[in-house]
């Protein structure tokens, strides 16, 4: 193994421009992959944030007893389509109102607590089922009316809101998936072509090694090690550039998005996520390097 | 597989067992017949010249021994092994026991003399601490110890040929195949190469040399297999 590593390093040193070109190409590829990973994380968090916010509020009729409220709450909690059911009393509703109008205390003082109805707030696991659930909840005897809070602006009906959220989610998933696939394919091609170039320059060596009795694994190892060195360098550089960029923009981004968790606020969580990205990219890169060098090697032997 | 002890005995008086046997071997390249019904035997510890003009079939014989190419018909036995029956996975250990000096040297241009020789040891999985001693020994033998750090492009034709020979010898092979080892060398250099091969043969190794150099062959007074047009014309 020692010899193979030495051989790979020697080969890199003796063809510095080709090696630099390979590392540069892979750095760009993994830089974009890291951007995509960060964007995927942030968009996932944004969607989760909107999805987990209470979307449906069932306003309860005045005079409803605690038992009947508990019974409905229990019923909703057991419904698999619904999550995070929360009871908001009249007093809590007033407190929320006062918090919301804290800049204008007069508004808070003018209202009587009795005008705020108690309510049951809950989120939905699947927004497409919202209409049906709302109709069911409306038909409950203790429910006065049902409101839907999710709105991205401009929608006239619940159907619009649901449709818009679904579309955004779908586009993000499809676009991200397509982009990820495109990048993976491109990086794989870049790797195979780069390695192919390197192997072509080593074809004589492969032939000589074959003739003096080298096993296939012996011939392959320096080439695989060489490609792993390129990939690991590319992954590290690409990842590092984005880490520095994100660290630089993080305070402004957190400030701009407010309570929407586009980036983790805890440094531990932040570096853990970047650590996971680095590890995943390294695993993906090593896998690509191994498959790519084997493919490039078999192409080179076929051409011979 | 043949026993390594044959060489390790380091004795030219080892029993003359069969090392190479060709039985009615024919090889064609398209419409050109390189070898036609060729049969011969080389005993263990022998020194044999395959002699003939270009296109006589000398290199084809060496390539067939190494299983670099396949014959159309016939049988080839090397060290008691039916070459045609060697599986792909068994080919590396088979080739590791043969030292080859190629006509076109087959050296790695981006590696130094020392590294070119070390490769053969790495292929054989010889522990690295033993490399230095073995490389120095063969470099001394071929007279290139002072040139160990140079690249092939910095060497003369004769020196390159000797590096190729050193790489073949460093693995202590039972059988040495040399394809035109004196090609394009002046008389003095060619003589030096042949002296080394003779010395190796005296240690009990089998040496097969393909050459068209009559002077060398006549001087050496070894067994000669004369080839012409893919046939053995005189033995």
What is A54-149's CATH number?
3.30.70.3040
Average pLDDT rounded to a whole number, residues A156-185: 70
Q: Does the pLDDT value for residue B10 go beyond 60?
A: no
Does the beta-carbon distance from B128 to A212 stay under 8 Å? Answer: no
Q: Does the pLDDT value for residue A296 go beyond 70?
A: yes
B145 touching A, CB under 8 A? no
Average pLDDT, chain B: 87
Q: Tell me, what's the pLDDT at B72? A: 95
Q: Which residues of B touch A204 (CB under 8 A)?
A: 106, 108-109
Every domain of chain A and the residues it spans: 2-50+161-303, 54-149
What pLDDT, in 10s, does the model give residues B108-149? 888 899 999 999 999 998 988 899 999 999 999 888 999 999
Q: How confident is the model at residue A158 (pLDDT cuts 50, 70, 90)?
A: low
Q: Tell me, what's the pLDDT at B74? A: 95
Q: How confident is the model at residue A227 (pLDDT cuts 50, 70, 90)?
A: confident
Q: How confident is the model at residue B9 (pLDDT cuts 50, 70, 90)?
A: very low
Q: Tell me, what's the pLDDT at A258? A: 79
Rounded CA-CA distance B205/B16 in Å is: 11
**Beta-sheet pairing, B223-228 with B47-51:** parallel
Which among B94, B101, B81 is positioned nearest to B161, based on CA atoms? B101
Closest by Cβ to B95, choosing from A2, A10, A213: A213
**Beta-sheet pairing, B175-179 with B98-101:** parallel
Interface A-B: count of C-beta contacts within 8 A: 52
Return the residue in B119, B149, B152 with the most chain A beta carbons within 10 A, the one to mutate for interface testing. Answer: B119
Q: How confident is the model at residue A300 (pLDDT cuts 50, 70, 90)?
A: low
Class of residue A52 by CB neighbours under 10 A (exposed 0-12, middle 13-18, buried 19+): exposed
Rounded CA-CA distance A4/A221 in Å is: 6
Q: Which residue has the higher pLDDT, B59 or A114?
A: B59
Rounded CA-CA distance B79/A282 in Å is: 48
Which among A223, A211, A13 is positioned nearest to B112, based on CA atoms? A13
Does the beta-carbon distance from A213 to B118 stay under 8 Å? Answer: no
**Beta-sheet pairing, A119-124 with A56-60:** antiparallel
Closest by Cβ to A213, choosing from B92, B110, B128: B92
Q: Which positions ≥6 away from A186 have C-beta within 8 Å?
A: A29
Residues in chain A: 304
Rounded CA-CA distance A225/A7 in Å is: 9
Q: Tell me, what's the pLDDT at A226? A: 87
Q: Does the pLDDT value for residue B19 go beyond 90?
A: no
Q: Which residues of A touch B92 (CB under 8 A)?
A: 213-216, 218
Place of tokens 């192919």: A196
Q: Tell me, what's the pLDDT at B3? A: 44
Q: Tell me, what's the pLDDT at A244? A: 95
Which among A15, A37, A20, A10 is positioned nearest to A180, based on CA atoms? A37
Q: Which residues of B touch A207 (CB under 8 A)?
A: 106
Average pLDDT, chain A: 81
Rounded CA-CA distance A165/A176 in Å is: 16
B81 touching A, CB under 8 A? no
Q: Tell me, what's the pLDDT at A113? A: 66
Rounded CA-CA distance A146/A132 in Å is: 12
Three-state DSSP class for residue A142: coil
A10 touching B, CB under 8 A? yes
Q: Tell me, what's the pLDDT at A53? A: 65
A205 touching B, CB under 8 A? yes
Closest by Cβ to A209, choosing from B93, B102, B123: B123
Average pLDDT rounded to a whole number, residues A171-177: 75
Does the beta-carbon distance from B93 to A213 stay under 8 Å? Answer: yes
B96 touching A, CB under 8 A? yes
Q: What percent of chain A has pLDDT over 70?
A: 86
Q: Does the pLDDT value for residue A108 go beyond 70?
A: no
Q: Tell me, what's the pLDDT at B1? A: 41
Class of residue B142 by CB neighbours under 10 A (exposed 0-12, middle 13-18, buried 19+): buried
Q: Which residues of B touch A16 (CB under 8 A)?
A: none
Does the beta-carbon distance from A211 to B107 stay under 8 Å? Answer: no
Q: Does the pLDDT value for residue B6 go beyond 60?
A: no
Question: Among A44-58, A286-300, B170-184, whose mean pLDDT is lowest?
Answer: A44-58
Average pLDDT rounded to a whole number, residues A85-103: 81
Q: Which residues of A touch B118 (CB under 8 A)?
A: 3
B93 touching A, CB under 8 A? yes
Q: Which residue has the higher pLDDT, B58 or A2?
A: B58
Q: Which residues of A touch B178 (CB under 8 A)?
A: none
B90 touching A, CB under 8 A? no
Residues in chain B: 235
Q: Tell me, what's the pLDDT at A20? A: 87
Q: Which positions ≥6 away from A99 have C-beta within 8 Å?
A: none
| C-alpha distance from residue B93 to each of A205, B19, B25, B176 (Å) | 18, 16, 24, 15
For residues A277 and A239, the answer to whether their CB atoms sit within 8 Å is yes
State CA B83 to chain mean position distance: 16
What pLDDT, in 10s, does the model give residues B161-199? 899 999 999 998 989 999 988 876 778 888 888 888 998
Which among A241, A56, A65, A209 is positioned nearest to A142, based on CA atoms? A65
Question: Among A130-134, B15-19, B150-154, whose mean pLDDT is lowest?
Answer: B15-19
Q: Does the pLDDT value for residue A23 go beyond 90?
A: no
Average pLDDT rounded to a whole number, residues A82-101: 82
Structural domains in chain B, sorted by start: 46-69+85-234 (3.40.50.300)
Q: Which residue has the higher pLDDT, B35 or A260?
A: B35
Q: Does the pLDDT value for residue B219 go beyond 50?
A: yes
Q: How confident is the model at residue B83 (pLDDT cuts 50, 70, 90)?
A: very high
Does the beta-carbon distance from A212 to B102 stay under 8 Å? Answer: no
For residues B179 and B18, the answer to whether their CB atoms sit within 8 Å is no
Does the beta-carbon distance from A14 to B93 stay under 8 Å? Answer: no
Three-state DSSP class for residue A263: coil
Q: Does the pLDDT value for residue A161 go beyond 70?
A: no
């Amino acid at each position: 193994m020692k010899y193979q590593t030495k051989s790979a390093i020697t080969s890199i040193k003796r063809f510095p421009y080709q090696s630099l070109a390979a590392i540069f190409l892979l750095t760009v590829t993994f830089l974009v992959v890291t951007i995509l990973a960060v964007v995927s994380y942030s968009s996932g968090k944004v969607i989760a944030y909107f999805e987990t916010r209470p979307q449906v509020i069932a306003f309860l009729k005045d005079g409803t007893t605690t038992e009947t409220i508990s019974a409905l709450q229990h019923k909703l909690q057991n419904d698999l389509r619904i999550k995070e059911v929360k009871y908001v009393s009249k007093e809590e509703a007033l407190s929320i109102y006062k918090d919301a109008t804290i800049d204008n205390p007069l508004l808070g003082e003018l209202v009587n607590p009795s005008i705020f109805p108690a309510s049951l707030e809950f989120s939905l696991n699947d927004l497409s089922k919202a209409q049906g659930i709302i109709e069911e909840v409306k038909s409950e005897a203790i429910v006065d009316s049902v409101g839907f809070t999710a709105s991205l602006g401009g929608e006239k009906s619940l159907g619009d809101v649901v449709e818009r959220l679904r579309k955004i989610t779908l586009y993000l998933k499809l676009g991200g998936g397509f982009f990820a696939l495109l990048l993976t394919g491109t990086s794989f091609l870049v790797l195979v072509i780069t390695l192919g170039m390197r192997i072509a320059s080593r074809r004589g060596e492969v032939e000589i090694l074959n003739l003096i009795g080298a096993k296939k694994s012996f011939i392959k190892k320096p080439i695989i090690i060489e490609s792993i060195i390129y990939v690991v360098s590319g992954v590290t550089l690409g990842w590092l550039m984005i880490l520095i960029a994100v660290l630089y923009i993080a305070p402004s981004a957190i400030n701009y998005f407010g309570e929407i968790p586009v980036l983790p606020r805890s440094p531990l969580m932040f570096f853990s996520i970047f650590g996971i990205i680095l590890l995943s990219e390294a695993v993906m890169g090593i896998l690509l390097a191994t498959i790519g060098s084997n493919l490039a090697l078999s192409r080179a032997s076929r051409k011979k | 597989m043949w026993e390594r002890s044959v060489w390790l005995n380091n004795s030219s008086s080892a029993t003359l067992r069969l090392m190479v046997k060709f039985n009615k071997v024919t090889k064609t390249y398209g419409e050109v017949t390189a070898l036609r019904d060729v049969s011969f035997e080389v005993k263990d510890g022998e020194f044999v010249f395959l002699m003939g003009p270009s296109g006589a079939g000398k290199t084809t014989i060496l390539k067939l021994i190494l299983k670099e190419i396949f014959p159309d018909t016939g049988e080839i036995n090397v060290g008691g092994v039916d070459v045609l029956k060697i599986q792909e996975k068994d080919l590396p250990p088979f080739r590791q026991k043969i030292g080859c000096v190629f006509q076109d040297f087959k050296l790695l241009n981006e590696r130094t003399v020392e590294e070119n020789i070390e490769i053969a040891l790495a292929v054989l999985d010889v522990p690295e601490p033993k490399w230095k001693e073995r490389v120095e020994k063969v470099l001394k033998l071929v007279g290139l110890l002072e040139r160990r750090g140079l690249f092939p492009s910095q060497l003369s034709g004769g020196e390159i040929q000797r590096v190729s020979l050193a790489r073949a010898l460093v693995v202590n092979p039972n059988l040495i195949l040399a394809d035109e080892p004196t090609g394009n060398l002046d008389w003095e250099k060619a003589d030096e190469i042949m002296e080394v091969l003779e010395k190796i043969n005296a240690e009990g190794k089998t040496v097969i040399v393909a050459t068209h150099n009559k002077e060398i062959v006549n001087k050496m007074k070894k067994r000669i297999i004369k080839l012409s047009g893919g046939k053995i014309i005189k033995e």
